[in-house]
Amino acid sequence: MTGRRKEGVAILPEFYDKFYAHDSPMVEPIRQTAHPRDRFEFGVSLARPGRRVLDIGCGNGRTLRSLEVKFDELHGTEISAIRAGTATKTTGRQGRITKASALFLPYKSASYEAVLLLDVIEHLPDVRGAIKESFRVLKPGGQLLIATPNIAFVLRRLKLLAGRFPATSQANEGLSSHLDQLIDGGHFHYFTYSMVQRLVSDAGFGVFKMTAVGRWQVIMSLWPTVLSPSVGLVATK
């Protein structure tokens, strides 16, 4: 890793600490549904029950807290110390939150039944490395659940056709009104369904299930690669 790349990775936690400076715990449970409207419902609804679950980039911990009915142990990682602290408060005694990078997970190999990457891979400098790490810590037969914005979503195609950047996190072409904040919420990469499937296949996963994720999920499922604003993919090791 070059000096410039090391420097860039090192300052990421500082950006996210500033971004989430006013973060707060959330305890309202996420519903389980056959038609997930967002990444949270997707993760909670499609994760199979097991002993241990790992939520990489667990945010404020709400998803983990909602999974306590399915898993005995709730593990989560966050790159931001502020978010890790919030997740610890949200998950309470059952949560085990660690400040760690998705590229260097401090866990033994083959130790989880499910790993979640919910709106995380678009924030990572090394997506392949993170997916390989997820594969490593999963038990044989374990699930990897990925949700990420779909850059091929029809409304984003229309924005690009109109000459505007199809941002996936923030309005105004991803440019916040605050000049010191991350562009487009800190998204480094943009994905399609086929890209995500290739990434997990290259990492060694063999079974895939793709699903639409959005408010009109039933309709979006007719043509998810174009109609779904988010890619939803479940891969099995």
Q: Is 40 exposed, middle or buried (0-12, 13-18, 19+ CB in 10 A)?
A: buried
Check residue 211 and give its pLDDT. Answer: 95
State the virtual CA torsion across 159, 160, 165, 166 in degrees, nearest 10.
60
Distance CA 186, CA 80 (A): 13
Residues 6+ apart with CB under 8 A from 54: 75, 76, 77, 105, 107, 112, 114, 115, 116, 137
pTM for this entry: 0.90
Residues forming beta bridges with residue 52, ordered by sequence position: 73
pLDDT class of 4 with cuts at 50, 70, 90 = very low
Q: Quote the pLDDT of residue 49.
A: 97
- Reported confidence tier of residue 28, pLDDT bands at 50, 70, 90: confident
How many beta carbons lie within 10 A of that of residue 45, not counting itself?
A: 17
Structure confidence at residue 21 as a pLDDT band (50, 70, 90) = low
Go through the domains of the chain in sequence order and give each one's CATH number.
Answer: 12-236 (3.40.50.150)
Query: Is 134 in contact with 56 (CB distance < 8 Å)?
Result: yes
Residues 6 or more apart from 174 whose CB is under 8 A from it?
165, 167, 168, 183, 184, 185, 187
Q: Extract the runs of DSSP E, i.e. beta strands, from the chain.
A: 50-56, 71-78, 95-99, 112-118, 138-149, 207-213, 230-236
Q: Is 61 left (phi over 0), alpha (psi -120 to 50) or beta?
A: left
Instruction: Give pLDDT, residue 7.
Output: 39
